[in-house]
Structure 1
Amino acid sequence: MNPRRKRRLLWALGLIAGVAVAFSIILYALSQNIDLFYTPTEVVEGKGKDAVKPAVGQRLRIGGMVVEDSVKRNQETLEVEFLVTDIGPEVKILYTGILPDLFREGQGIVAQGVMIEPTVMKATEVLAKHDEEYMPPELAEQMKGIKHVNPNQPDAFEGNQ
């Protein structure tokens, strides 16, 4: 191989290796900041067809409805403990801080934090959903048996007359 081709080949291989290293570093940095979203059923029973349960110590988000009569507040501190459910099992959420104004029992919430036990999460942030009327169609069907009707379809409300 002549020296000119050899030099070009080394430059090309070096460039490819550099891009691969940079891409790997970017993917590793991004994977540290990913917070996966789970429902309580997915946390307890596993997620998807592979039935992967979140590991203790994993950062994630859990979304669901606050169970009635499950909110327990420590009168001396800002510690709050409550249960969240969707259609099945419940997950206990531990939170220290001031809850959002819209937080209440029976309300949809999303909690972000770390799993400290298989069914217990230590939340760093609790978000209350502001519109209690909206619910994703799949969840509405599971929880209430409500069938979602698209209001943008011309014949969506013909059966209601």
Structure 2
Amino acid sequence: MKNLKKRRRIQVIVLIIVSLVLSGALIGYGFKDGINLFRSPSQVLAEPPAPDEVFRIGGLVLDGSLERGVGEEIRFVVTDGGAEVPAVYSGVLPDLFEENQGMIGTGSYVNGVFEATEILAKHDETYMPKEVVDALKEQGVYQGEDEAS
């Protein structure tokens, strides 16, 4: 009787461990496409990501670089003061997207151009995403308050 209880207890523990490992694997697989790493333009040029890797890039839209093409295609350059990455986006830009303002884009780096699938712009006069502020501070270009809102 004692041996049967011990065996049952071991089976339950093994079943729980297998369930936890399987759950962890499924959660990791589910998040695989949902995690986008942030990179500054300097980091993108220093270690270019693979063309199929989706990531977020942030910085300032370089003054004088915004070009509206045929249809909805927009070309611009993202900079952190230390490096510049050309970018292209097809779609409708946020109303507050403009030159010399902070932005974050999601997309991939293909043949030396960041191909954005989503563009986020600052939402008021004082806000800039923390990642962008950190990247600009790293290059010694940030000229704002000590802390981002």
Cross-structure match for 1:127: 120
Distance 1:147 1:120, change over 3 A: same
Q: Which stretch of structure 1 is more off in the superposition, 123-132 or 81-90?
A: 123-132
Q: Deviations over 1:128-157 (max 9, x none)?
A: 1133444556435710567838xxxxxxxx
Q: 2:80 aligns with which of 61, 83, 86?
A: 86
Q: Secondary structure at the match of 2:63?
A: coil
1:87-106 superposed matches below 5 A: 87-106=81-100
Structure 1 unpaired stretches of 5+: 47-52, 150-161
- Quote the residue 1:62 is aligned against: 57
Matched residues in 2 for 1:68 and 1:32: separation? 33
Check if 1:17 corresponds to 2:18.
yes
TM (normalized to structure 2)? 0.81
8-17 vs 128-137, which deviates more?
128-137
Letter in 2 for 1:105: E
- Of structures 1 and 2, the one with the larger relative CO (CA 8 A, separation 6+) is 2
Shift in alpha-carbon separation, 1:140–1:132, aligned structure 2, 3 A = farther
How many equivalent residue pairs? 141
| Inter-CA distance 85–132: structure 2 relative to 1 (3 Å threshold) | farther
Question: 1:71 aligns to what?
Answer: 66
